[in-house]
């Protein structure tokens, strides 16, 4: 366990304030009737199953907003086992109870995403030590930061956090532009040189076209492992392999992950971690009354 600090990103803190406001729109009827507002208590969050911990600093912020301090906590990224104490908090008993659900929801969801990510990374690197496992942008609206940070805690790559992080020319874009070559040229002319240009393709031939047009990254989307291998080989034969990163994406799960990791791609991206992973179960236990009262 490590001492808990304070502070945090103002953007994230504002998001957490919005979460608390949603839950406490007109107060907590039960807590405000039953619990003396001056009563000070301690509580602890206990993990009920194994996993990878994520969301500690976000849960800490939620408690802080209710005037509750974190005495100590485990660190994001630690492996959990059933019965582990994740956090110990102290403060107004009402504040502990009012922050309970938001803190637990953040910890459980983010830990689920981090756990799935770490298992995916471990599995991929069994067959391809250098491959990176990235998350797609299939996240819950308004929760993208929390999902993506959990991916990072789990050892994965967040890919794009937002639409302005980089250029990704998708199939729908290409339906509205004459060619891959023209699309790459236009974004090169219209976007800062600091931004990477990625092009989504579905065949080895399109991968060659994108690489020749000057794309930095070629994404093979919804292709078979054999087609992905063929694209990597064709890029190598054409002398283009070292000029581009190759990403494979679409329908990738823990079950087929190793097949795609073996293709020679640099990056394997999946929505499994943010859309299909299960939360890690945790609970809050209030440990009776503390010796002093809140003033």
Is 135 a domain residue? no
Q: How many domains does the chain have?
A: 2
Is 151 a domain residue? no
Same domain assignment for residues 255 and 289? no
Taking the C-alpha atoms of residue 151 and residue 275, their distance in angstroms, rounded to an integer, is: 12
Predicted local confidence at residue 16, as pLDDT: 97
Is 131 a domain residue? no
**Residue 94 maps to which CATH number?**
3.90.1170.20
Same domain assignment for residues 60 and 104? yes
Same domain assignment for residues 289 and 206? no
What tens-digit pLDDT sequence spans the chain (295 residues)?
A: 433 444 568 999 999 999 999 999 989 999 999 999 999 999 999 999 999 999 999 999 999 999 999 999 999 999 999 999 999 999 999 999 999 999 999 999 999 999 999 999 999 999 999 999 999 999 988 899 999 999 999 999 999 988 988 899 999 999 999 899 999 999 998 988 888 999 999 999 999 999 999 999 999 999 999 999 999 999 999 999 999 999 999 999 999 999 999 999 999 999 999 999 999 999 999 986 655 544 4
**Residue 183 maps to which CATH number?**
3.20.20.70
Same domain assignment for residues 9 and 106? yes
Among 148, 166, 145, 153, CA closest to 121: 153
Segments forming the whole domain that contains residue 33: 2-117+280-293
- What are φ and ψ of residue 269, in 5° steps? -110, 145
Is 7 a domain residue? yes
Same domain assignment for residues 51 and 65? yes
Same domain assignment for residues 98 and 10? yes
Is 150 a domain residue? no
Around 173, how many Cα atoms within 13 Å sit in the side-chain half-sphere?
A: 15
Same domain assignment for residues 113 and 187? no
Is the CB of residue 61 less than 8 Å from the CB of residue 4? no
What sign does the dihedral 248-199-110-105 (CA atoms) show?
Answer: negative
**Paired sense of beta strands 132-135 and 267-270, if any:** parallel
Same domain assignment for residues 240 and 288? no
**Paired sense of beta strands 197-201 and 217-221, if any:** parallel
Same domain assignment for residues 86 and 177? no
Predicted local confidence at residue 290, as pLDDT: 57
Predicted local confidence at residue 231, as pLDDT: 98
Is the CB of residue 166 less than 8 Å from the CB of residue 195? yes
Would you call 284 helix, strand, or coil by DSSP? strand
Is 155 a domain residue? no
Is 92 a domain residue? yes
Predicted local confidence at residue 136, as pLDDT: 95
Same domain assignment for residues 105 and 7? yes
Taking the C-alpha atoms of residue 24 and residue 53, their distance in angstroms, rounded to an integer, is: 26
Is the CB of residue 72 less than 8 Å from the CB of residue 174? no
**Paired sense of beta strands 167-169 and 197-201, if any:** parallel
Is 191 a domain residue? yes
Same domain assignment for residues 224 and 249? yes
Same domain assignment for residues 287 and 256? no
Predicted local confidence at residue 5, as pLDDT: 41
């Amino acid at each position: 366990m490590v001492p808990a600090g304070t502070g945090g990103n103002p953007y994230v803190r504002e998001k957490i304030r919005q979460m608390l406001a949603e839950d406490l729109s007109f107060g907590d009827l039960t807590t405000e009737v039953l619990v003396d507002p001056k009563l000070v208590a301690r509580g602890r969050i206990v993990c009920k199953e194994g996993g990878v911990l994520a969301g500690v600093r976000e849960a800490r912020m939620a408690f802080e907003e209710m005037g509750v301090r974190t005495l100590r906590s485990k660190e994001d990224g630690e492996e959990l086992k059933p019965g582990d104490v994740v956090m110990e908090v102290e403060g107004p008993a009402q504040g502990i109870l009012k922050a309970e659900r938001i803190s637990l929801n953040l910890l459980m969801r983010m830990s689920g995403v981090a756990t799935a990510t770490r298992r995916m990374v471990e599995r991929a690197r069994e067959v391809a030590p250098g491959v990176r496992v990235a998350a797609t942008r299939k996240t819950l609206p308004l929760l993208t930061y929390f999902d993506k940070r959990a991916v990072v805690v789990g050892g994965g790559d967040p890919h794009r956090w937002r639409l302005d992080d980089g250029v990704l020319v998708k199939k729908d874009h290409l339906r509205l532009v004459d060619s891959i070559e023209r699309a790459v040229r236009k974004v090169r002319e219209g976007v800062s040189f600091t931004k990477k240009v990625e092009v989504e393709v579905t065949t080895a031939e399109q991968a060659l076209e994108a690489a020749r047009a000057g794309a930095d990254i070629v994404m093979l989307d919804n292709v078979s492992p054999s087609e992905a291998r063929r694209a990597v080989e064709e890029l190598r034969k054409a002398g283009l392999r070292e000029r581009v990163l190759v990403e494979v994406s679409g329908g990738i799960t823990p079950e087929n992950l190793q097949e795609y990791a073996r293709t020679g791609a640099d990056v394997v991206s999946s929505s499994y971690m943010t859309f299909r992973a299960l939360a890690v179960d945790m609970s809050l236990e209030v440990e009776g009354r503390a010796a002093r009262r809140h003033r």
